[in-house]
Chains A and B, each alone.
Chain A
Amino acid sequence: MLRALAAVVVAFAASALVLLVSGARPLPALAALVAGAVGDRFALTDTLLKTCPLLLTGLAVALAFRCGFWNIGAEGQLLMGALAATAVGRTTGAATFPLPLLAALGAATAAGALWATLAALLRVLRGVNEIVATIMLNFIAARLVGWAVHGPLMEAAGRYPQSDPVPTAALLPMVAGRVHLGVALAAALAAVIWALLFRTSVGFRWRVVGDNAQAARVAGFSPERAVLTAMLASGALAGLAGGIEVLGVTGRLFEQFSSGQGYTAIAVALLARLHPAGVTLAALFFGALAAGSGAMQRVAGVSAVFVAIVQAGTLLALLALEASRGRTIAAAEHP
């Protein structure tokens, strides 16, 4: 926790330098950033909406990493979830609420889980490196979405590469203003994932396998089975993130649907040290950054891309702090 805070401080300090060098005045820019993230009701809503997909994908990544599976594929799993939610939402939308919504959310979850399981199977059965496998599956998912919005899901007007809106019966209800039910669902899932990891024997096995697979095998736990189940759960979370984004925010699918949330999720999970409570805080932080960046651009004229520097800087600072700590431990153990 302390290290994470230190990393955030370092990143902001470094970012202020970047602002200075690029000729902007750091303090007003940062003030605009903060105001845009938490300044008023509108800003807070924006922060919560940006947090939601990061929280779910962050949980997905943290869960997989805990089991020793380097799932870099939350992005692809999210896209597959969004694609499935759109397709199912559009086809079942004529039925009465909440059946279309449930069907669409279920489809998103299943699609994400399936996409993740492909990578898990490749590793378990064929020994394929999961980092390569999940990244490749991300590319395929992005192309599939592209194909869908140019082809079968393309709007009836046929003008833009996007789907028609999902019918209202499949959309997530709002709980307050533009804040949809998915935000509450994501928060609840953070608690569920915590319980799953630390209060069930399944989670216990995942953690043991992630820590020492050979010891897990000797203890009678199958590392292969643990990886498969963990990736089912991880992919389901990321797929749900995509579904919720369609059904709660955008209402439709389009090309470039994700702004890279599945990759930011890795930063979220690492900053949180793979703990669900930490993931919640880190997702809020990165969500606030994303929300504030728009305001910063409007008010202070600093490009929203600047926020990417803060995000990356935070992660780099954290990794540097972790790495120096790791070396100290190694030196103490092997004099």
Chain B
Amino acid sequence: MTGAARPPRLALSGLDKRYGARRALAAVTLELAAGTIHGVLGENGAGKSTLVRIVAGALRPDTGSVAIDGTPLPLGAPRAARAAGVGVVFQHFALIGALSVAENLSLGRPETHSTRAWLTSPARLAAAASSLAERHGLAIGDPGARVDTLPVGTRARLEILRALSGPVKVLLLDEPTAVLTPVETAELFTTLRGLRDRGVLVVLITHKLAEALDVCDRVSVMRGGALVTTVATRDLSPATLAHLMIGDAGAPASGALATIAGTASAATAPTATSTRAAARALDAATPTRVAALIVHALSTPGAPGRTALHDVALAVEAGEICGVAGVDGNGQDELVAALYGLIPRGGVARVAGVVVPAGDVLAAQRAGVALIPGDRRREGLAPGLSLWENALLSRPLLARVAPHGVLDVGAARRAAAEIATRYRIVHARLDQPIADLSGGNQQRVVVGRALAALPRLLVAVNPTRGLDIAATAQVQATLTGVAGAGAAVLLISTDLDELRTLCARLFVLYRGRLHGPVAPDDRARLAALMAGLAA
């Protein structure tokens, strides 16, 4: 850190933020020096975005303070934050597509709100835009071009320019590379290095390990709302970073760098004996069981915001919980959507020997696939409908209580009540709107519904994310029970502790390719695969 004489450029102390029972930020204290690029890493829900919003003044923390150059910042005041020199590039670009480059850059700029700017002209705006771009050495092309005609890389530069239009001391970027191509990302990093060299503190929020190591001087790792550790990147290997990010049940959360670094060096060169032992253990389990799911040469097309899957091969046995690990955004969503028929795919998938046609949810359901979606609010529930209706929100279940298309409300409510009882869903009435239930109870509905279809293959995506301890334990016990009853379970999770607890074999998704299997206790190899270091 900087010397005792000079206060740090950005000081966060004791930041806490709760949403109901969930603690989004837990006592985050961090001091960052001017003229550095600092990475903040963590999985979805680790608290990164909450942190950004607090510093930007968009969100008020429950407790704690933020100071810039030693001066405390009024909290929850975006204008004050801007005035103090905080610039933010949010994850979802806030540019207005129908306006020109120059018009977008003029939005929110102090000088355009002076009385003289009451009247303006395209020429004046264009001149201001060009001079701003020149000052920061960022190419914006034609200032009169409509923003929605520009490539995303240019839009990213525009966002940054907009954030830089004031006297910026701290520039926060929330996952700016999510929509960029590698070339555009490299350009962005050059820009960020330039800003650093001119004394700006750049804070880069990301979950991409390679990027963090590439451009950041130091990184902080967040997990479950808490700051796990802060380290200099030159001391760090990707595997170590992966370890820090995904957590490690065996090691204390922080201060154990030496131990972890030791494991990591083993990761880059796994010993032949351990690998062979793992392979033997896997082989031993294979022949006696029936494969419930066989996937061969599965691929999906890439698209903006989507990861293409390449040549995925996978076999899951009846009675097995097979895990898929990986950092978010490496193709998890696509794998699930492809298996469940939600998106087109190439390759062959068989469930219990039956070929499941691509892009057909009904066919997947008929073959015995059930899904616990990762985003229950978006994909799992109809918030305006009642508890009992949501408990039957699945075509096979509905068909059971609606013979010939006529809904037998009595039977439907009995079926829903059975799910509610079996999965201990806390509710007042079956007619209660599902939105009134707590997150844990909503998830119990989603889980109970998936299992009520008596699946041969259950695909579960982060089934315990955001749940409290009791609900987590219950959901995990349920998954074990399903497998025990003879179904195959494909558990896709970013929580490595959960995968280790539940799974006999793990695979790792990295950039759309599936690697493995790996024995769950082979931490070194897991970390290496997740960081893209080994094939």
A interface, CB within 8 angstroms of B: 198-204, 207-208, 211-212, 214-221, 335
Contact = CB atoms under 8 A, between A and B. Distances in A.
B440 interface: no
B396 A201 contact: no
Contacts of A207: 382, 384-385, 389
9 contacts: A204-B392, A208-B389, A212-B381, A212-B382, A215-B380, A215-B381, A218-B342, A218-B361, A335-B19
B79 interface: no
B395 A221 contact: yes
A201 B379 contact: no
A220 B362 contact: yes
B406 A199 contact: yes
A335 B394 CA distance: 33
B326 interface: no
B234 interface: no
B405 A201 contact: yes
Interface in B334-376: 340, 342, 361-362, 365, 371, 373
Contacts of A199: 406-407, 409
Contacts of A198: 407
Contacts of B371: 218
Given A200-B405, A204-B389, A214 B395 contact: no
A216 B361 CA distance: 11
Interface of B: 19, 340, 342, 361-362, 365, 371, 373, 378-385, 389, 392-396, 398-399, 402, 405-407, 409
B383 A201 contact: no
A201 B395 CA distance: 9
A86 to B, nearest CB: 35
Contacts of B396: 220
Contact of A211 (B362, B382, B399, B406): B382
A219 B406 contact: no
Contact of A212 (B340, B361, B383): B383
Looking at chain B's contact residues, the main secondary structure is mixed
Nearest to A220: B395
Given A201-B407, A208-B385, 12 more contacts: A200-B406, A208-B389, A211-B384, A212-B381, A212-B382, A215-B382, A215-B393, A218-B340, A218-B379, A218-B380, A219-B393, A219-B398
Nearest to B380: A215
A200 B402 contact: yes
Contacts of A216: 382
B395 A211 contact: no
A201 B402 contact: yes
Contact of B395 (A200, A219, A335): A219
A236 to B, nearest CB: 18
Contacts of A203: 407
Contacts of A217: 342, 361
Given A214-B379, A215-B381, A218-B380, A204 B407 contact: yes
Contacts of B382: 207-208, 211-212, 215-216
A132 B394 CA distance: 33
B402 A220 contact: no
Max count, chain B CB within 10 A of own CB: residue among A200, A207, A217, A219: A219
B305 to A, nearest CB: 15
Contacts of B395: 219-221
B494 to A, nearest CB: 20
Looking at chain A's contact residues, the main secondary structure is helix
A198 B394 CA distance: 16
Given A218-B371, A218-B373, A219-B394, A211 B385 contact: yes
Max count, chain A CB within 10 A of own CB: residue among B373, B378, B389, B407: B407
Given A201-B398, A211-B384, A215-B379, A220 B361 contact: yes
A64 B361 CA distance: 25
Contacts of B340: 218
Nearest to A199: B407
Contact of B365 (A200, A212, A220): A220
Contacts of B394: 219-220
A326 B13 CA distance: 36
Given A199-B406, A199-B407, A218-B373, A204 B398 contact: yes
B76 to A, nearest CB: 11
A335 B399 CA distance: 40
B403 to A, nearest CB: 9
Contacts of A335: 19
Question: Nearest 6 pairs between A and B by C-beta?
Answer: A220-B395, A211-B382, A201-B402, A211-B384, A212-B382, A220-B361
Max count, chain B CB within 10 A of own CB: residue among A203, A212, A217: A212
A216 B379 CA distance: 8
Contacts of A220: 361-362, 365, 394-396
Given A215-B378, A220-B362, A202 B405 contact: yes
A76 B381 CA distance: 35
B385 to A, nearest CB: 6
Contacts of A212: 378, 381-384
A219 B369 CA distance: 11
Nearest to A334: B19
Contacts of B379: 214-215, 218
Nearest to A335: B19
Nearest to A210: B384
B342 A204 contact: no
A203 B398 CA distance: 12
Contacts of A211: 382-385
Nearest to B402: A201
A218 B339 CA distance: 12
A198 B431 CA distance: 13
Contacts of B389: 204, 207-208
A335 B19 CA distance: 8
Contacts of A215: 378-382, 393
Nearest to B375: A214
A216 B393 CA distance: 8
A201 B399 contact: yes
A208 B409 CA distance: 16
A315 B361 CA distance: 41
A211 B389 CA distance: 12
A208 B380 CA distance: 11
Nearest to B19: A335
A216 B394 CA distance: 8
A119 to B, nearest CB: 23
A212 B362 CA distance: 18
A221 B398 CA distance: 10
B113 to A, nearest CB: 28
Contacts of B380: 215, 218
B429 to A, nearest CB: 17
A200 B385 contact: no
Nearest to B62: A335
Nearest to B403: A201
Contact of B407 (A200, A208, A214, A219): A200
Contacts of B381: 212, 215
B405 to A, nearest CB: 5
A335 to B, nearest CB: 7
Contacts of B373: 218
A163 B182 CA distance: 69
Nearest to A221: B395
A335 B398 CA distance: 37
A220 to B, nearest CB: 3
Nearest to A207: B385
